[in-house]
Amino acid sequence: MEEKKFWGPPRSRALKPVVDPVDPAALVGATKAPEPLPVFVVLDYDNGETHEIAGFAYGWTRAHVLVSVPWPMEYYEGRKEIWVEASRVRRRTNRTRPAVVNAS
Protein backbone atom coordinates (compact mmCIF):
# COMPACT_ATOMS: atom_id res chain seq x y z
CA MET A 1 0.00 0.00 0.00
CA GLU A 2 1.28 3.45 -0.91
CA GLU A 3 2.12 5.76 1.97
CA LYS A 4 0.37 9.13 1.91
CA LYS A 5 2.28 12.28 2.65
CA PHE A 6 0.06 14.69 4.57
CA TRP A 7 2.42 17.57 5.11
CA GLY A 8 5.50 18.90 3.41
CA PRO A 9 7.43 22.12 3.85
CA PRO A 10 6.30 24.92 1.56
CA ARG A 11 8.52 25.48 -1.44
CA SER A 12 9.42 28.89 -2.73
CA ARG A 13 7.68 29.50 -6.04
CA ALA A 14 9.58 32.73 -6.58
CA LEU A 15 11.88 32.98 -9.57
CA LYS A 16 15.55 32.73 -8.67
CA PRO A 17 18.21 34.92 -10.25
CA VAL A 18 21.02 33.21 -12.14
CA VAL A 19 24.39 34.81 -11.37
CA ASP A 20 27.61 33.92 -13.17
CA PRO A 21 30.59 33.33 -10.89
CA VAL A 22 33.27 36.03 -10.89
CA ASP A 23 36.99 35.25 -10.85
CA PRO A 24 38.38 36.47 -7.47
CA ALA A 25 41.50 37.77 -9.26
CA ALA A 26 39.26 40.25 -11.13
CA LEU A 27 38.19 41.77 -7.80
CA VAL A 28 41.65 42.76 -6.59
CA GLY A 29 41.81 46.47 -5.80
CA ALA A 30 38.03 46.90 -5.50
CA THR A 31 36.81 50.27 -4.25
CA LYS A 32 34.45 50.22 -1.26
CA ALA A 33 31.61 52.73 -1.14
CA PRO A 34 31.58 54.95 1.97
CA GLU A 35 27.82 54.34 2.12
CA PRO A 36 25.52 52.14 0.00
CA LEU A 37 24.57 53.74 -3.32
CA PRO A 38 21.04 53.15 -4.68
CA VAL A 39 21.17 51.42 -8.07
CA PHE A 40 19.08 49.43 -10.54
CA VAL A 41 20.48 46.00 -11.44
CA VAL A 42 19.57 43.88 -14.48
CA LEU A 43 19.34 40.20 -13.47
CA ASP A 44 18.59 37.06 -15.48
CA TYR A 45 16.23 34.54 -13.89
CA ASP A 46 16.02 30.75 -14.04
CA ASN A 47 13.00 30.85 -16.38
CA GLY A 48 14.91 32.90 -18.99
CA GLU A 49 13.36 36.28 -18.16
CA THR A 50 15.37 39.42 -17.47
CA HIS A 51 14.25 42.06 -14.94
CA GLU A 52 15.69 45.31 -13.64
CA ILE A 53 15.36 45.53 -9.86
CA ALA A 54 16.33 48.04 -7.20
CA GLY A 55 19.42 47.31 -5.13
CA PHE A 56 22.37 48.94 -3.40
CA ALA A 57 26.01 49.10 -4.55
CA TYR A 58 28.66 48.44 -1.89
CA GLY A 59 31.82 48.35 -4.01
CA TRP A 60 33.17 48.17 -7.55
CA THR A 61 36.07 47.51 -9.88
CA ARG A 62 36.42 48.60 -13.50
CA ALA A 63 34.41 45.59 -14.68
CA HIS A 64 32.19 44.53 -11.74
CA VAL A 65 29.94 46.00 -9.04
CA LEU A 66 29.10 44.45 -5.66
CA VAL A 67 25.34 44.85 -5.18
CA SER A 68 22.84 43.83 -2.53
CA VAL A 69 19.56 42.66 -4.09
CA PRO A 70 16.35 40.98 -2.88
CA TRP A 71 16.82 37.20 -3.01
CA PRO A 72 14.07 34.56 -2.69
CA MET A 73 14.63 32.20 0.25
CA GLU A 74 12.67 29.12 1.27
CA TYR A 75 10.15 30.91 3.51
CA TYR A 76 10.85 34.60 2.95
CA GLU A 77 12.67 37.07 0.72
CA GLY A 78 16.07 38.07 2.03
CA ARG A 79 18.97 40.04 0.56
CA LYS A 80 22.15 38.74 -0.99
CA GLU A 81 25.37 40.46 -2.02
CA ILE A 82 26.57 39.45 -5.47
CA TRP A 83 29.13 40.68 -8.00
CA VAL A 84 27.64 41.60 -11.39
CA GLU A 85 29.04 43.14 -14.56
CA ALA A 86 29.21 46.93 -14.40
CA SER A 87 27.20 47.20 -17.63
CA ARG A 88 24.19 45.68 -15.79
CA VAL A 89 24.09 48.43 -13.12
CA ARG A 90 22.92 52.05 -13.25
CA ARG A 91 22.52 54.70 -10.55
CA ARG A 92 19.08 55.27 -9.06
CA THR A 93 17.96 58.83 -8.39
CA ASN A 94 14.64 60.44 -7.49
CA ARG A 95 13.82 60.83 -11.17
CA THR A 96 14.80 57.39 -12.46
CA ARG A 97 12.49 54.42 -12.80
CA PRO A 98 13.16 50.81 -13.73
CA ALA A 99 13.66 50.39 -17.45
CA VAL A 100 11.47 48.00 -19.38
CA VAL A 101 13.67 45.06 -20.29
CA ASN A 102 12.53 42.64 -22.97
CA ALA A 103 12.53 39.00 -21.87
CA SER A 104 14.49 36.82 -24.22
pLDDT tens-place string over residues 64-92: 999 999 888 777 778 899 999 999 999 98
Nearest to 52 by CA among 84, 13, 95, 20: 84
pLDDT per residue rounded down to tens, the chain (104 residues): 566 666 655 555 667 888 888 888 888 889 999 999 999 999 998 888 999 999 999 999 999 999 999 888 777 778 899 999 999 999 988 776 666 655 55
Cα 78 to Cα 69: distance, rounded to the nearest angstrom: 8
Nearest to 16 by CA among 97, 78, 94: 78
Cβ atoms of 24 and 16 within 8 Å: the answer is no
pTM above 0.85, yes or no: no
Q: Which pLDDT does position 76 carry in this prediction?
A: 74
Other Cβ atoms within 10 Å of 17 Cβ, number: 20
Q: Which pLDDT does position 27 carry in this prediction?
A: 86
> In Å, what is the CA distance from 27 to each residue of 7, 17, 46, 103?
45, 21, 26, 29
